[in-house]
């Protein structure tokens, strides 16, 4: 048995832009334990609901995270709409689905790039991000922002996408899909990628459930759980199956995300084919009063929103439980037994978003 040493990993680390801090307990090169600490980017956004009225708050909520910003605003809008009993038009539901799925594609491409970077595959990283840029262009063209869209509001949307643009988006996406397939091929078939990811950080079916994993981390261990099957927004009208892999290692989690990208393309095509014409917003009268809880599927997993209104324009309480927070216990389970060199790959395999977690 070697001597124990403690190596701090993060909050500033070359491999991970997120301020995740782990105290790694090592015996020689093997990790035997890890102590996480978070709280480096806490901004107190939840507390702001007491000072910003519920319509303004959506701009704060979507700034929780730069990558899943749209789904945050969608989730907030959905929570407040549920709380106030507002029925939103069908076109809004479809447009939110389209933007949500585009967000998923861009988030997964970003993650695949970061993952490639974590095991030193620089050219794959660059190519993933080159492909992702086309999705960001679609965002800028349709919403006005590349990262923060500011397009959702309580009761609908500020901007519509006309049917001509939707058709053009499909042609752009077909190109992107072709490019993405080439990248996906590298992740699924390449020897070096498999050497770094196969059999690393295995989480079994039971462990994934017990530790409360969500999203691709959970589905990579063979558990069928996808919040989109609840049928929020337009998902009820679209045909899809949650993507599941059995192995539970980093490779399985990568494959889940690779396959989810092609699923998202398919969902967007379906939504664009079915999208009805109509209004893009309804008038919201009164103030929220009561409690409401919503669950949505973010690229990283299940996200929970809870809101409590008191009849004034300020909410009493707003709570977000983000997927990374749920995925930290599985990460701690993966680390013991791993090599120090595998820690970046393991930490990235849960797709950590610490800004989301700390809000």
Partner 1 sequence: MAFNVISKTVMKSLFSKPATAMYPVIKNEFYPNTRGSIEMAHIDNCTFCGICSKRCPADAIAVDRAEKRWEIDRIRCIACSFCVQLCPKNCLSAERQYTAPMTDKSHKLFTIYGQVVSQEDASQEDVSQEDA
Binding site for partner 1 (CB under 8 A): 52-53, 55-57, 59-60, 63, 123-124, 127, 130, 133, 140-145, 148, 150, 158-159, 182-183, 185-186, 189-191, 194
- Min. distance of Cβ 341 from partner 1 in angstroms? 21
- Min. distance of Cβ 24 from partner 1 in angstroms? 31
Contacts 24+ apart (CB under 8 A), 280-283: 280/89, 280/91, 280/92, 280/95, 280/156, 280/157, 280/159, 280/160, 281/88, 281/89, 281/92, 281/153, 281/155, 281/156, 281/157, 281/158, 282/86, 282/87, 282/88, 282/89, 282/155, 282/156, 283/155
DSSP H/E element including 104: helix 90-118
Identify which of residues 232 and 318 has a Cβ nearer to partner 1 in the complex.
318
- Min. distance of Cβ 25 from partner 1 in angstroms? 34
Q: Are the beta carbons of 16 and 348 closer than 8 angstroms?
A: yes
Backbone angles phi, psi at 339, to 5 degrees: -75, 155
- Min. distance of Cβ 257 from partner 1 in angstroms? 17
Identify which of residues 20 and 68 has a Cβ nearer to partner 1 in the complex.
68
Sign of CA pseudo-dihedral 214, 147, 182, 113: negative
Identify which of residues 286 and 290 has a Cβ nearer to partner 1 in the complex.
286
Identify which of residues 56 and 279 has a Cβ nearer to partner 1 in the complex.
56
- Min. distance of Cβ 179 from partner 1 in angstroms? 9
Q: Output the DSSP codes for 66-85.
A: SSSHHHHHHHHHHHHHHHHT
Q: How many CB atoms lie within 10 A of CB 192?
A: 12
Identify which of residues 218 and 315 has a Cβ nearer to partner 1 in the complex.
315
Identify which of residues 210 and 279 has a Cβ nearer to partner 1 in the complex.
279
Identify which of residues 32 and 282 has a Cβ nearer to partner 1 in the complex.
282
- Min. distance of Cβ 233 from partner 1 in angstroms? 22
- Min. distance of Cβ 159 from partner 1 in angstroms? 7
Q: Output the DSSP codes for 255-276.
A: HHHHHHHHHHHHHHHHHHHHPP
Q: How many CB atoms lie within 10 A of CB 173?
A: 21
- Min. distance of Cβ 339 from partner 1 in angstroms? 21
Calpha distance 300→102 (Å, rounded): 14
Identify which of residues 225 and 262 has a Cβ nearer to partner 1 in the complex.
262
Sign of CA pseudo-dihedral 193, 196, 198, 203: negative
| Tokens standing for residue 18 | 């997120």
Coil, helix or strand at residue 254 = helix
Identify which of residues 58 and 350 has a Cβ nearer to partner 1 in the complex.
58
Q: Are the beta carbons of 327 and 352 closer than 8 angstroms?
A: yes
Cis amide prior to 73 (ω within 30 degrees):
no
- Min. distance of Cβ 173 from partner 1 in angstroms? 17
């Amino acid at each position: 048995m070697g001597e124990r040493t403690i190596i701090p990993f993060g909050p500033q680390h070359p491999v991970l832009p997120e301020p995740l801090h782990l105290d790694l307990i090592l015996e020689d090169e093997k990790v035997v334990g890890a102590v996480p600490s978070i709280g480096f980017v806490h901004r107190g956004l939840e507390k702001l609901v007491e000072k910003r009225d519920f319509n303004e708050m959506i701009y704060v909520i979507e700034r929780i995270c730069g990558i899943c910003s749209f789904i945050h605003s969608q989730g907030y809008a959905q929570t407040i709409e549920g709380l106030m009993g507002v029925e939103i038009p069908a076109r809004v539901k479809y447009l939110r689905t389209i933007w949500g799925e585009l967000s998923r594609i861009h988030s997964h491409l970003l993650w695949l790039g970061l993952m490639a970077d974590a095991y030193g595959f620089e050219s794959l990283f660059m190519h993933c991000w080159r492909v992702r840029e086309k999705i960001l262009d679609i965002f800028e063209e349709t919403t006005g922002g590349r990262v923060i869209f500011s397009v959702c509001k309580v009761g609908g949307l500020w901007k519509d996408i006309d049917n001509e643009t939707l058709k053009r988006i499909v042609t752009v996406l077909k190109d992107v899909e072709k490019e993405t397939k080439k990248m996906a091929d590298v992740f699924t078939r390449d020897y070096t990628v498999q050497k770094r990811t196969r059999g690393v950080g295995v989480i079994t079916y039971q462990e994934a459930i017990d530790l409360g994993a969500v999203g691709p981390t959970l589905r990579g261990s063979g558990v069928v759980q996808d919040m989109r099957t609840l049928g929020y927004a337009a998902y009820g009208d679209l045909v899809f199956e949650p993507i599941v892999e059995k192995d539970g290692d980093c490779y399985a989690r990568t494959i889940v995300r690779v396959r989810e990208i092609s699923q998202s393309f398919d969902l967007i095509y379906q939504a664009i084919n079915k999208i009805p014409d109509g209004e893009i917003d309804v008038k919201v009268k009164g103030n929220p009063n009561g409690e409401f809880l919503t669950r949505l599927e973010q690229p990283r997993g299940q996200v929970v929103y809870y809101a409590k209104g008191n009849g004034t324009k300020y909410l009493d309480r707003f709570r977000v439980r983000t997927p990374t927070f749920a995925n930290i216990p599985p990460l701690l389970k993966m680390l013991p037994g791993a090599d120090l060199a595998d820690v970046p790959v393991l930490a990235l395999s849960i797709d950590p978003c610490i800004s989301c977690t700390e809000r």
